[in-house]
Amino acid sequence: MTNPLHLWYANAIMSNRKHSINNMRTILTRLIWYVVGVIAALLILRIVLLLFNANPETPFVDLVYNLSAIFVVPFAGIFAQPDYTRVYVDTSSIVAIVVYWIVAIALAKLINLDR
C-alpha cells in the first residue's frame, strides 16, 4: 500500500519544479525583451541623430554612435546609402531593429514552447 504522505511529498516536489521552471522562463523572457528594447532604443536614437545631422564631435552623439555601431555592423551595406546633402537615413539601423525584434520574438516563443 502506498503511503499518502509520500504521494503528497512527491506531488509537492513536482509542483515546485514546474513552478521553478515557469519562473525561469518568465525571467528569461523578460530579460530578452529588456535587452532588445534597450538595443532598439539606442538604434532609434542613432537614426534620429543621423536624420537631423547631429554633430558627431559632441560627446553624447559620439557615445551613441560608438555604442550602436556594434549592432549596425552586421547589416551595413545591405542597401545603398542615399546621397543627401543634409539628411541621412540609416537603413542599416532600421534593418537591425527589425531583425533584433524578430530574434527576440523567436527566442521568447522558444523559451515558452510547452506552456
| Structural domain count of the chain | 1
Which amino acid is present at 102? I
**Between these two residues, 4 and 110, which has the higher pLDDT value?**
110
For 28-58, how does the pLDDT look when each residue is reduced to its tens digit (9 = 90+)?
A: 999 999 999 999 999 999 998 888 888 889 9
Is 22 among the domain residues? no
Q: Which domain holds residue 92?
A: 29-111
Cα-based angle 25, 26, 28 (whole degrees, multiple of 5): 65
Is 14 among the domain residues? no
pTM: 0.70
What is the structure's pLDDT at 86? 62
**Spatial CA neighbour of 100 closest among 32, 27, 30:** 32
Is 10 among the domain residues? no
Residue 87: which pLDDT band, with cuts at 50, 70 and 90?
A: low
Count the neighbouring beta carbons within 10 Å of the beta carbon of residue 12: 10
Is 7 among the domain residues? no
Output the CA torsion 50→51→52→56 (10° steps). 10
How confident is the prediction for the chain on average, in pLDDT?
Answer: 84
Distance from C-alpha of 100 to C-alpha of 115, rounded to nearest angstrom: 24
Is 39 among the domain residues? yes
Is 75 among the domain residues? yes
